[in-house]
């Protein structure tokens, strides 16, 4: 088999390293070994029953055809109502475009904004796909190294310092994957101002909205109507496999996003959209709030437990379901550490390497998408591993 000539972007779009680790974990499990999973970026709950019921009803009703490329009007309205109810923000449903997951939203926004050679600022560490959506359209993702001193987030100073005449947009995620940290409201306002002053565009990833603990969440949509906000039914709403997200765009971009959605996606999955209408029902929100509470308990268990065995967590994460820990007191190579831990003790974690090039060898992401009981066993096993 000869190596084919690939488009040059494929040199820069790499697989998730954790996939290999996951494959090895599955192999071990197939051999009868027990593996504690703390690497998975997906809630361990199935979709709430009311949504599943609504999905079945959508099938009964024969909703099996294409929908409008921007989503069914009822769902765009329901999302608008959600912003009104949860954040007291008035969002015109015409600005809401339903997409195949937040992935679809990210792709639309990058494709509509970024010309070849233009730069997009984002955090390093950050969600690995973000940079690849920029690569796809021959743009240049610029990872800005962030540390505990800025909550592992961009701030307005970073943006000023890293702005070039090629910078077109800034992307911020709050709460963030992998760090679980949030951008405080005041800082987001400064970021927005800084980006606008330079004539760029702000893109805010809010896909972990709703999964914030011990503080009230907010939406950056309260700041202005000239920014792009990306969201998803996957995380808080527990609908990963339904592939449904959305973007709220400035009015002036809606038509182009619609055109692009027609061409790239035709439409989102029909029954997913009808099912998602039920995601905002009181019955479903009750379930989701119970789950949020469970995630908070898990964070409150795992954070001190990891500190106790020697991981440093300089900024307590306030959201998502991740702890991004500094492992440099225990290893100088988090990647090997992760593989050795898996082989020796059957614990799966995600080494920093998947999230960027800024000190990845000193960091590990733990996902608390597993029960406290299982995580306690995981921590016991890590303790044993460290005592080896």
Closer Cβ to a copy of itself, 45 or 87, answer by number:
45
270 near a copy of itself, rule: CB under 8 A: yes
269 near a copy of itself, rule: CB under 8 A: yes
- Shortest CB 250 distance to a copy of itself, Å: 7
Q: Binders of a copy of itself among 243-262, rule CB under 8 A?
A: 243, 250-253, 255-256, 258-260, 262
Closer Cβ to a copy of itself, 42 or 81, answer by number:
42
93 near a copy of itself, rule: CB under 8 A: no
129 near a copy of itself, rule: CB under 8 A: yes
Closer Cβ to a copy of itself, 284 or 303, answer by number:
284
Closer Cβ to a copy of itself, 145 or 250, answer by number:
250
* Span between the terminal Cα atoms of the chain, in Å: 43
Of 210, 238, 352, 356, the one binding a copy of itself (CB under 8 A) is: 238
Closer Cβ to a copy of itself, 42 or 293, answer by number:
42
Q: Binders of a copy of itself among 43-72, rule CB under 8 A?
A: 46-47, 52, 55-56, 59-60, 62-67
Closer Cβ to a copy of itself, 8 or 88, answer by number:
8
Part in contact with a copy of itself (CB under 8 A); list of ranges 85-93, 100-108, 174-182, 208-216:
100-108
- Shortest CB 187 distance to a copy of itself, Å: 26
Of 77, 240, 371, 374, the one binding a copy of itself (CB under 8 A) is: 240
């Amino acid at each position: 088999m000869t190596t084919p000539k690939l488009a040059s972007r494929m040199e820069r779009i790499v697989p998730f390293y954790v996939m290999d680790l996951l494959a090895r974990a599955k192999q071990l499990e197939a051999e009868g070994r027990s593996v504690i999973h703390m690497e998975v970026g997906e809630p361990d709950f199935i979709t709430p029953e009311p949504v599943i019921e609504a999905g079945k009803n959508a099938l009964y009703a024969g909703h099996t055809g294409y929908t409008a490329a921007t989503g069914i009007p009822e769902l765009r309205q329901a999302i608008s109502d959600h912003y009104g109810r949860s954040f007291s923000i008035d969002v015109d449903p015409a600005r809401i475009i339903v997409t195949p997951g937040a992935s679809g939203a990210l792709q639309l926004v990058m494709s509509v904004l970024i010309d070849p050679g233009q730069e997009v600022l984002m955090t390093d560490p950050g969600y690995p796909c973000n940079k690849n959506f920029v690569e796809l359209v021959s743009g240049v993702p610029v990872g800005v190294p962030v540390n505990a001193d800025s909550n592992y987030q961009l701030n307005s100073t970073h943006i000023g310092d890293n702005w070039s005449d090629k910078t077109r947009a800034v992307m911020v995620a709050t709460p963030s994957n992998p760090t679980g940290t949030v951008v405080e409201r005041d800082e987001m306002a400064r970021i927005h101002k800084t980006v606008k002053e330079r004539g760029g565009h702000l893109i805010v990833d809010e896909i972990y909205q709703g999964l914030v603990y011990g503080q009230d969440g907010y939406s950056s949509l309260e700041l202005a109507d000239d920014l792009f906000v990306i969201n998803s039914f996957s995380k808080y709403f527990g609908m990963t496999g339904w592939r449904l997200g959305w973007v709220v765009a400035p009015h002036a971009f809606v038509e182009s996003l619609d055109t692009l959605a027609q061409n790239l996606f035709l439409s989102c999955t029909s029954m997913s959209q009808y099912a998602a209408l039920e995601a905002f029902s009181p019955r479903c929100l009750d379930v989701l709030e119970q789950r949020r509470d469970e995630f908070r308990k898990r964070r409150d268990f795992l954070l001190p437990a990891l500190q106790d065995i020697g991981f440093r967590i300089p900024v307590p994460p306030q959201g998502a379901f991740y702890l991004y820990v500094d492992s440099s007191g225990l290893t100088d190579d988090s990647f090997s550490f992760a593989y050795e831990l898996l082989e020796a003790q059957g614990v799966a974690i995600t080494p920093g390497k998947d999230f960027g090039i800024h000190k990845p060898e000193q960091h590990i992401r733990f996902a608390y998408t597993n029960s406290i009981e299982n995580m306690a066993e995981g921590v016991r096993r890590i303790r044993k591993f460290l005592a080896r």
